[in-house]
Amino acid sequence: MARKLDTSNAGLFKRAISRTGSGGGSNAALFGLSSSMRYREIPLAQIEPNPDQPRRNARTADIGALAASIAQKGLLQPINVREVAPDRFQIVAGERRYWAFDALGRPTIPALIIDTDDVQALALIENVQRVDLHPLEMAASLDRLIAEKGLIQEQAAVLIGKSQEYVARLLGILRLPTRIREEAPAHPNVSASLLMELAELGDAATQESLWERAKTGLTVKDVRAVKQERKANASSPSPSVEPVLRALRGNVTKIRDLQQAGLLAEEQRRELRALRDAIDAVLGE
């Protein structure tokens, strides 16, 4: 039996649009968003994908499995669109659902029509709230949004309902070595938190070494232990030559006093000459 359509994302958008940051700016003010929305069953022929879709592989990401699930259980959430011309709509979020309906040969799809000129911002809100956007895709979308709109991290945090610290750490994963960024989407078991911890290590060789372990079960706790060990090693005082030189200078003075007092035997002179030769060898002289 098909499940009832879940329209909870209408409330989700209203909460996200009205969300206010510590500086008092809301998403509505920052991005020109509107809480005006309505439901409609829209022909697929009147809908076009969003060219700025945050998901890089929306059309190819296991559409067959999603289509089979929809055929069995029905659509659980409507797609989200905006009207770009009379009876012409662009997808804000839900492109995988759109392609699944297309694969099933369905002529229409339930849609939530949202009044906005900022497709990218709302697409990001929807994907973040659904918690199914890969951290690297989310970071890239946020980074692009920040660059295009001249935002500060606090404003980006308002958009997705996270802290400024979270946004800073999320953007940090874009600095991971290229190989890790390319391989990470194929390893959904590696959490955003673990990628953030790896990014904060800063050393590419260590990051790549730990990445191999991350693919087979490395935990956030393990990475933090490595960070603590590196921090402890960095804070340990490095060996200093000054105490050695200070002691040597003092002993040279004592030896001079013994020489002047006539207390150095020939055997002791030979030993001092051997020490002098050893010092010359160390200095390469």
Structure tokens at 184: 């990470």
Which amino acid, residue 43?
P
Q: Which of 83, 95, 165, 200 is catalytic?
A: 95
Strand duo 108-114 + 47-48: pairing: unpaired
199, 166 Cβ separation under 8 angstroms: no
DSSP line for 259-282:
HHTT---HHHHHHHHHHHHHHHHH
The full length of the chain comes to 285
Rg (CA), the chain: 32
Structure tokens at 232: 């402890």
Structure tokens at 106: 């369905």
Is 95 catalytic? The answer is: yes
DSSP line for 72-94:
HH--SS-EEEEEEETTEEEEEE-
Active site residues: 95
